[in-house]
Amino acid sequence: MGTLSSAAVAAKKSSLTPKAIISQKFGSKASYKVDEVEESFPNECPGLAIRQKGRCLYRCHLQLPELSVVSGTFTRKKDAEQAAAEKAIEMLGIHVKENNPTEEEARDELVDRLAYLFSSEFLSSGHPLSGHFRAVLKTKGHLNGCIPISVMAMYDAKLTNLCKHINPEVESNPLGITSIILSAAEKLSGSLLPLEDHLSLKRQSPHPPDVLQSVENCESTLPESFEIQAIRIPSSVNETIETLVLNLSSASYYLDVIAEALGVTEASRVQVSRTIGKASSEVRLYFCPKQQLLDQSLEPLEVHRVQLQGSLNVRASYFAGQEVYGDGILASVGYVWKSANLFHEDMSMRTYYRLLINKIPSGVYKLSREAIFVAELPMVFTTRSNWRGFFPREILYTFCRQHRLAEPVFCIPNSSLGTSTDPHGTCKKLKVTEPSEEGKKSPVLAAGGGGESDGLTGDFKCEVKIFSKCQDLILQFLSTKAYKKQTDAVQNAALKVLLWLNLFFRESNISSEKLSSHAKELGIQFYSEYFLKEFNICPLVHDFWMSFATVEDGLLDRKHMKANDDMLENVVFSLNMGGQASGVNPSSGSLVCIGYTSCLVTEGGMKEHLESNEEFEFEMGIGAVVPYIEGIVTQLSVGQSACFGAELPPLEFILAAADDSPTTISLLSSGKCSLEHTITLLRVTEPLEDRMEQALFSPPLSKQRVEYALQHIQESHALSMIDFGCGSGSLLDSLLDYPTSLEKIVGVDISQKSLARAAKMLHSKLNSKLDYKVSSNRIKSAVLYDGSITNFDSRLCGFDIGTCLEVIEHIEEQEASLFGDVVLSSFCPRILIISTPNYEYNVILQKSAPQNQEEDPDEKNQSQAYKFRNHDHKFEWTRAQFCDWATDLSRRHNYSVEFSGVGGVGDVEPGFASQIAVFRSKEENPKNVEIAHHCKVIWEWSEGDRSKSAL
Ligand code: SAH
Ligand code: MG
């Protein structure tokens, strides 16, 4: 909404996109071909034998009469196309200046374009507007062949852009376009004819008979007559939205039918909005401006003034993104590219309300989860794997599109560790993906990169900026926290912005002081003048939040609300819990799966189904569901159900869910109603071991294990070391940061994905001369093998030290025993360090999760499967079990063994969190082994490679 500053628009228009420039110059002679390419890592890790499944990237080939160019690779198709166009412009030496035509040139171009639109050639062009031209040729009477100017303006972007260029004011006042087009048509007075109302144009002379014949012949497959359902949005907010039926037929022009429904006789009086909702939809708003507005004697600016005297249709304006006066009709109908048929779809009340709530961040999220009454936009983005529904970044893009703002801009400011390589500023825009963002970063980020939880703080922060269509900065946000992964930084930044925007929609008359203070709390800076200019109309339409919950204690600390019983008592009533308590309760960080049904119930006991989900998964403790739902779920254990009543949510939400809106509305108006939820807790997935270890130990357990191993490596003066089950190489990685006597390091694992990560990390670290810590090590060779550690391979034999950290519990108990025998009888490292979780310590881990405090120890045994720290664990041993296993092993293979651990205190119950056994060989001489290879070399490095790569 709001008027645009013409200077800003003009400034923006002068910078046409590269594609637009190419299209002006070459038209249809420019052909773009986009290929999908898989992201590759050629420079990143030479010699890596695992095929890297990169993201899908796009590369564009642009073929022009004079040359062809190929773009780099991009994550989005359109970026690849623009890049190719840009390259071509550069190579052809096209001056961009000539693409910013003077007003005179633009008027000439407009005349040319009009002439083309009315040509016979255009009729068969496949352009959506050509459908309108064909349709009006079939209508009878004096309107035969008449095209409403409003239609031309809406369906031909070229025409509109030229008009905007001639007078930027028309951006906010599409009616002004009519007069500009009419004056262009005057220059074609020999061939074009305006009708007396000056709202439509037709050809002076009819098309040649053969052309008319071919239009006649290209029959669409539509039935002779058919009905579509549309929505009427009355101008007065007090009148309710209702459905209406449009009777269309293959012989009539659909806009004539809509005109009639709007109470006017001619299609030329109807204005058509841009598409509403999804970019690809044909949902548009149709409305009739007041008669006097169409008076040709008025200049565009005066028209605007007259408009303001009318009664604004607030709801319709909100959807259309332009001022709408009088009633509006929302319909999903129209001609689409390259189709002879008129596309049409029914609109229901449900679709209307879905479009409405899709304008609010939380609404977009709820719809993406198909859980309007249960889902809430979470407060934090913990991990990609725990997130459900649209990602925050996606939602922010949607939001900006819906509100006609420019695309949000995401930047990753240069890492504090990195040297500034960007001469143009400190920000790196995220759109372009030159070979691999992560790859480029890893030399400086190696300590924190790789995505392993090693407790080091991350290096990624993200900045988000939101601009209006005319490039006014509306708000900006910069993360205060640094994240280890780029995605986490980006998603959390987008989320912060969305949460704040939500506040605005939640409380219709929120004061700007309050908005500011919430913004401050979240670290958002917003420019209230520009912000309100863009959003002033929203609260008038979304005034439904008031009935729901107060904002004061609401959104910002939603996550603290779960433990608040008062809150529950106030919102939830007649709670009824059933089912056997299994002792498996959800706690913060768990992934929970519920099944639920939500119904509308009247006091008289009438019930109407609104929404249900058989399986709905969410992470606990981050506000991913409505607070009272989470409050109830924390009281359930797996298998139990709860049925309870709750206050009604806003009407708009109810109608966005209701299948049968007439019944729902009649129930709602019959007296006091409430929402009844029935929830069953189906599954609880314990939080990831990693996250638990991170949260409860400082330094994190994984780091403590690494340090423990490191100490043994240093004390033993080992020259060679092998990491059994090396995973992503967190131990090998950390080793390189310290001076050791190691000359040869080897990692073995069965996960190719992890090995690839390890390879990349080692590659960048070993080849980096810059890092003094790295160059101070004596490593001469490094190898990564893909293979199971339970199989014999002679290349794994005879190392000075072997490590096997948190691996054995990932293999079946029998296999683990087999590994024990193989490693001590055949691989025979002089020292072997094995770590594994101490099962007895789990009590402490689980107690620290708030909801599990009153657990009955008897029930625990019944639910063994849930009690391990990680789903992938096949077993977890008590101290006694581990001790027996290791002691027996050491005796049989002539090793000594010592026990210790990390996390907690060894001689206080229940011992260390991770238990460790250190085996030492009692034999001096290495055994002779038979050569056998079953492992695959995944990656190999030797000292010579470093000097090679330095050249
Ligand atoms: N040692 C690493 C990884 C622990 S996770 C660390 O401390 O961070 C367990 C690892 O064991 C996984 O990477 C898994 O792929 C690996 N693993 C499981 N079974 C294996 C087997 N039979 N042979 C080799 N590696 C195995
Ligand atoms: Mg484990």
Taking CA atoms only, the protein residue closest to ligand 1 atom 17 is 725
Which atom from ligand 1 is nearest to the alpha carbon of 723?
1
User: Which tokens belong to 421?
Assistant: 């390589």
| pLDDT, tens only, 418-456 | 333 334 444 555 543 333 333 333 222 222 233 333 333
Q: How far is CA 81 from the centre of its chain?
A: 22
Query: Which pTM was predicted?
Result: 0.66
pLDDT of residue 446: 25
Taking CA atoms only, the protein residue closest to ligand 1 atom 9 is 807
CA of 872 to the centre of ligand 1 (A): 10
What Å distances lie between residue 686 and 630, 646, 692, 787, CA to CA?
16, 29, 9, 29
CA of 816 to the centre of ligand 1 (A): 12
pLDDT of residue 466: 96
| pLDDT, tens only, 755-806 | 988 998 899 888 875 555 555 678 999 999 999 999 999 999 999 999 999 9
CA of 873 to the centre of ligand 2 (A): 6
Ligand with minimal distance to 727 CA: 1
pLDDT of residue 108: 92
Average pLDDT on 591-620 reads 95
pLDDT of residue 898: 97
- 3-state secondary structure at position 233: strand
Taking CA atoms only, the protein residue closest to ligand 1 atom 15 is 751
> Is residue 126 pLDDT above 70, yes or no?
yes
User: Which residue is it, tokens 């979780």?
Assistant: 837
pLDDT of residue 63: 93
CA of 810 to the centre of ligand 1 (A): 7
Q: Which amino acid is at 716?
A: S
Q: In what order do the strands lie in the sheet with 147-148?
A: 147-148, 200-203, 192-194
* Of the candidates 732, 604, 741, 590, the residue with the CA atom closest to the CA atom of residue 666: 604
The residues facing 612 across adjacent strands are 597
> Which mutation among 731, 750, 803, 916 tests ligand 1's pocket best, with the greatest number of atoms within 8 A of CB?
750
Protein residues with CB under 6 Å of any ligand 1 atom: 702, 725-727, 730, 748-751, 754, 788-790, 805-807, 810-811
> Is residue 247 pLDDT above 60, yes or no?
yes
* Of the candidates 164, 162, 182, 188, the residue with the CA atom closest to the CA atom of residue 174: 164
pLDDT of residue 180: 92
CA of 846 to the centre of ligand 1 (A): 24
Taking CA atoms only, the protein residue closest to ligand 1 atom 22 is 788
Q: Which range in 579-593, 634-648, 814-828 is most confidently predicted, on average pLDDT? A: 814-828
pLDDT of residue 865: 36
Average pLDDT on 412-417 reads 62
pLDDT of residue 428: 52
> Is residue 11 pLDDT above 60, yes or no?
no
> Which mutation among 732, 751, 784 tests ligand 1's pocket best, with the greatest number of atoms within 8 A of CB?
751
Question: Cα(557)–Cα(570) distance, rounded to whole angstroms?
Answer: 17
CA of 918 to the centre of ligand 1 (A): 18
| pLDDT, tens only, 182-229 | 999 999 888 888 887 778 999 998 899 988 888 877 766 778 899 999
| pLDDT, tens only, 22-66 | 888 888 888 999 998 876 655 567 777 776 666 788 999 999 988
pLDDT of residue 567: 57
The mean pLDDT value of the chain amounts to 82
When pLDDT is cut at 50, 70 and 90, the band that residue 688 belongs to is low
pLDDT of residue 102: 85
User: Which tokens belong to 493?
Assistant: 């930044």
Which atom from ligand 1 is nearest to the alpha carbon of 751?
15
> Is residue 329 pLDDT above 60, yes or no?
yes
CA of 484 to the centre of ligand 2 (A): 21
Tell which phi-psi region holds residue 621, choosing left (phi > 0), alpha (psi between -120 and 50) or beta.
Answer: left
| pLDDT, tens only, 72-117 | 888 888 899 999 999 998 888 877 655 577 888 899 999 999 999 9
Question: Cα(949)–Cα(767) distance, rounded to whole angstroms?
Answer: 7
